[in-house]
């Protein structure tokens, strides 16, 4: 456990690449005697800690479908990896013959943006977006961003920042339509307006304020900002209608002011259709939240996800179907309130960009099911949802694409690094029997994974939502002598409405390799266990979730049967977590001061009352403690008292465990001064505390060098206070 050895191990395990996108092209001109050839183009991300960078590279496979048995795939050796330089955003045309790339270059004075169109042979067209001066920075994020080809493959739809007019404030209630022309950057603000405040969309979207829909005509070399977007919404997630004469998009309400969008599926929004003449129509209801619109191959059906506004920031969603011919909306997949153990548990994540089967009758998607992420298909006519993944074979599954009925899935497990598997979607009715083939060799970690199903005691039950259970994942090494006593790291996820999947996790993998056992807890309120579980946490943070984590720890410690290879050491238990996970970790060391020997937290919520005025999701500060929220809400003494009473700062005098705090100076979700509040409280009492301040990082502490620094410090902190030298 020397620092250099820890860093070397972290560098090795964090360097396993992760697939992030895939595109399939049918090579009709390469049809073989025994099958049809497909080209699979994939993009991967790889962490490189020496330079503190995330590398993106491309790799291709040729796959041959066997005519004699359609499910058989002959996989040819992959091409060498090729590094992608400066690709900000990219998209293949429907035929696969063209690839559009938004490339950003940084000069000494300004940042330049180019839109490139590549054919199979060469660069076909380039547009200097900065010189055209129609808009600001192109959006690349998953919330708003898109780069969509029209069916004729002559136009591209994307989202960019609208140009700001002189004296105009995005914070103003009289914000102009997103399609209205704006003054160029060269004109600049007047002297009296140069310091005016411009709203943005919060954590992870700080450079996004007023998005506009843009169309690039490849042949003409022109860019047009579409007119007609309603002035009260901000557009994103655009896609073309089948005829290429109109576009669909999601519009988020930004009045009276913007709330944080990242990780929040509960923002008021609707599905719109806008033709190229500027006529706009709302297709969905306007009192819900919507996302992920996806058009069927025949151009008749739109599916999208729908949820409630406000309340839990991430909820179980329904899948809606809009029939463009009859103009009727129907529910394709409904919200699941309380799933049975091995059944479909609901929809909790965005649909992949290409999720329709070629018959326009079925939609394939990934979603959480208890401690797993599984692969499902829903039949549009029968509404039947069928699971197609086999967790015991490949772990957790995430669909990257389905094209020509070829599914490309990213699979991983807590003891197996990410890899790709492929299969053809069987005919309707046969989806339960899918023949999967993997691409490349698996990289196994010497670890044992135990899935725990945990039930609260009668005293810990929620009377309004009784009978709920929850889950946990216990990961231990298989490289130590039998009956070795190992220290236990309790790892608590944030959110709180998120979860730990049984999938590759670098932090867990390295900790286990170093000889720790890791317990990852999905307490009540985590996604994947139904809507009732999510709603049960409202008003009960700081109590129900704390009790669940402690119950999971006691369950793991008690499950030490004779056949267990390792024994968890009850005298060497530590806890770590970030955001709401940090909130829970600090509660645990305060409520159980003699149980935990050390604590490490990233950007924790410490005092919900003082966080109220500084967070980009102020609505959640009310909802989490069981209070209703409205935009004109003013804090009351009663509300602030409730928030304070549910906060870990009230337990600070009882804390005995040494605390390591890791804070991002640019965190918009949980102010770094939350952590400083605990730091000062502990310092005043002489309690051991150490604070790491990352001035240029935000809530996720996602920079490569930051993550490596944090991990090293966490391990050394645990080593020091567990006396593991």
Active site residue 543: no
310's CB contacts (< 8 A; 6+ apart) are: 266, 619, 623, 629
Question: Are the C-beta atoms of 418 and 438 separated by less than 8 Å?
Answer: no
Q: Which among 623, 614, 627, 722 has a CA at the least distance from the CA of 675?
A: 614
Burial class (CB in 10 A: 0-12, 13-18, 19+), 384: middle
Burial class (CB in 10 A: 0-12, 13-18, 19+), 494: buried
Q: How far apart are the first and last CA of the chain?
A: 8
Q: Which is the catalytic residue, given 616, 667, 697, 709?
A: 667
Angle of the 506-513 helix axis to the 3-14 helix axis, nearest 10: 140
Say how many residues make up the chain. Answer: 725
- Two structure tokens written together for 83: 């590094």
Gap between the Cα atoms of 37 and 29, Å rounded:
9
Which residues touch 722 (CB under 8 Å, ≥6 apart)? 487, 572, 574, 597, 598
**Contacting residues for 392 by C-beta, under 8 A, at least 6 apart:** none
d(CA 710, CA 692): 8
Distance separating alpha carbons of residues 525 and 538, to the nearest angstrom: 8
Decide the pairing of beta strands 82-83 and 318-323.
Answer: unpaired
Q: Name the pairing type of β-strands 18-27 and 35-48.
A: antiparallel
Of 579, 624, 647, 700, the active-site residue reads 579
**Tokens for 312?**
């839990």
Known catalytic residue at 72: no
Q: How far is Cα 104 from Cα 220, in angstroms, rounded to an integer?
A: 22
Kind plus residue range of the DSSP H or E element containing 707: helix 704-722
Sheet holding 362-369, edge to edge: 362-369, 372-379, 385-387
- Give the integer Cα–Cα distance in Å for 553 and 550: 5
421, β-bridge pairs: 409, 438
**What is the spatial distance between Cα 517 and Cα 507, in angstroms, rounded to a whole number?**
12
User: Roughly what angle, to the nearest 10 degrees, separates helices 544-558 and 580-591?
Assistant: 70
Q: Give every CB contact of residue 343 below 8 A, 6+ residues apart in sequence.
A: none
Between CA 664 and CA 661 the distance in angstroms is: 10
- CA dist 354 and 88 (Å) reads 20
Q: Which of 37, 699, 700, 721 is catalytic?
A: 699
Q: Tell me the C-alpha distance between 315 and 496, whole Å.
A: 11
CB of 17 closer than 8 Å to CB of 44: yes
Say whether 572 sits in a helix, a strand or coil.
Answer: strand
141 classed as catalytic:
no
Radius of gyration of the chain (CA): 26
Distance CA 476, CA 502 (A): 13
Catalytic residue numbers read: 579, 667, 699
């Amino acid at each position: 456990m020397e620092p250099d050895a820890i860093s070397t191990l972290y560098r090795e395990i964090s360097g396993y690449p992760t697939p992030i996108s895939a595109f399939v092209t049918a090579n009709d001109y390469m049809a073989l005697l025994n099958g049809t050839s497909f080209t699979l183009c994939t993009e991967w991300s790889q962490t490189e800690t020496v330079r503190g960078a995330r590398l993106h590279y491309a790799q291709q496979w040729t796959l041959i479908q066997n005519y004699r048995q359609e499910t058989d795939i002959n996989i040819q050796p992959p091409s060498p990896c090729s590094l992608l330089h400066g690709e900000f955003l990219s998209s293949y045309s429907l035929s696969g013959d063209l690839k559009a790339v938004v490339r950003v270059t940084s000069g000494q004075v300004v940042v330049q943006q180019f839109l490139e169109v590549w054919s199979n042979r060469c660069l076909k067209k380039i547009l200097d977006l900065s010189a055209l001066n129609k808009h600001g920075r192109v959006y690349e994020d998953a919330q708003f961003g898109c780069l969509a080809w029209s069916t004729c493959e002559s136009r591209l739809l994307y989202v960019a920042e609208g140009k700001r007019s002189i004296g105009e404030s995005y914070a103003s209630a009289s914000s102009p339509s997103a399609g209205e022309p704006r003054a160029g950057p060269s004109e600049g603000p007047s002297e009296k307006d140069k310091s005016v405040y411009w709203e943005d969309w919060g954590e992870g979207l700080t450079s996004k304020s007023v998005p506009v829909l843009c169309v690039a005509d490849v042949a003409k070399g022109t860019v047009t900002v579409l007119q007609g977007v309603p002035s009260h919404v901000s557009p994103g997630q655009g896609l073309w209608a089948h005829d290429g004469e109109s576009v669909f998009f999601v519009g988020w309400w930004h009045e009276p002011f913007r709330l944080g969008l990242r990780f929040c599926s509960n923002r008021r929004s609707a599905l719109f259709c806008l033709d190229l003449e500027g006529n706009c129509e709302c297709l969905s209801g306007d009192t819900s939240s919507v996302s992920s619109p996806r058009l069927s191959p025949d151009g008749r059906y739109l599916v999208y996800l729908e949820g409630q506004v406000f309340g839990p920031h991430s909820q179980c969603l329904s899948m809606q179907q809009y029939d463009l011919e009859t103009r009727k909306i129907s529910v394709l997949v409904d919200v699941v309130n309380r799933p049975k153990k091995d059944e479909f548990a609901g929809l909790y994540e965005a649909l992949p960009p290409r999720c329709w089967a070629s018959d326009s009758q079925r939609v394939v998607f990934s979603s959480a099911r208890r401690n797993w992420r599984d692969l499902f298909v829903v039949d549009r006519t029968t509404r039947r949802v069928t699971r197609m993944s086999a967790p015991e074979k490949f772990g957790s599954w995430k669909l990257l694409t389905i094209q020509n009925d070829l599914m490309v899935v990213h699979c991983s497990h807590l003891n197996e690094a990410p890899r790709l598997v492929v299969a053809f979607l069987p005919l309707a009715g046969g989806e339960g029997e899918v023949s999967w083939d993997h691409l490349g060799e698996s990289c196994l970690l010497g670890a044992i994974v135990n899935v725990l199903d945990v039930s609260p005691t009668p005293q810990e039950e929620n009377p309004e939502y009784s009978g709920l259970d929850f889950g946990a994942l216990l990961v231990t090494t298989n490289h130590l002598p039998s009956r070795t006593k190992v220290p236990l790291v309790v790892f608590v996820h944030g959110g709180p409405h998120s979860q730990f999947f049984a999938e590759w996790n670098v932090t867990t993998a390295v900790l286990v390799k170093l000889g720790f056992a890791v317990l990852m807890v999905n307490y009540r309120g985590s996604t994947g266990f139904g809507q009732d579980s999510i709603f049960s946490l409202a008003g009960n943070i700081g109590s129900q979730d704390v009790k669940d984590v402690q119950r999971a720890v006691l369950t793991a410690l008690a499950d030490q049967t004779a056949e267990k290879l390792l024994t968890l050491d009850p005298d060497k238990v530590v806890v770590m977590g970030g955001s709401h996970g940090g909130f829970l970790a600090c509660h645990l060391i305060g409520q159980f001061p003699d149980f935990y020997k050390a604590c490490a937290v990233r950007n924790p919520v410490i005092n919900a009352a003082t966080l109220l005025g500084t967070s980009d999701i102020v609505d959640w500060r009310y909802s989490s403690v069981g209070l209703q929220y409205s935009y004109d809400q003013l804090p009351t003494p009663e509300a602030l008292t409730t928030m304070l009473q549910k906060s870990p700062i009230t337990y600070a005098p009882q804390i005995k465990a040494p605390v390591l705090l890791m804070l991002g100076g640019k965190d918009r979700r949980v102010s770094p001064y939350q952590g400083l509040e605990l730091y000062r409280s502990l310092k005043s009492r002489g309690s051991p505390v150490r604070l790491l301040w990352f001035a240029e990082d935000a809530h996720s502490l996602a920079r490569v060098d930051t993550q490596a620094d944090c991990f090293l410090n966490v391990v050394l902190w645990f080593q020091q206070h567990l006396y593991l030298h």
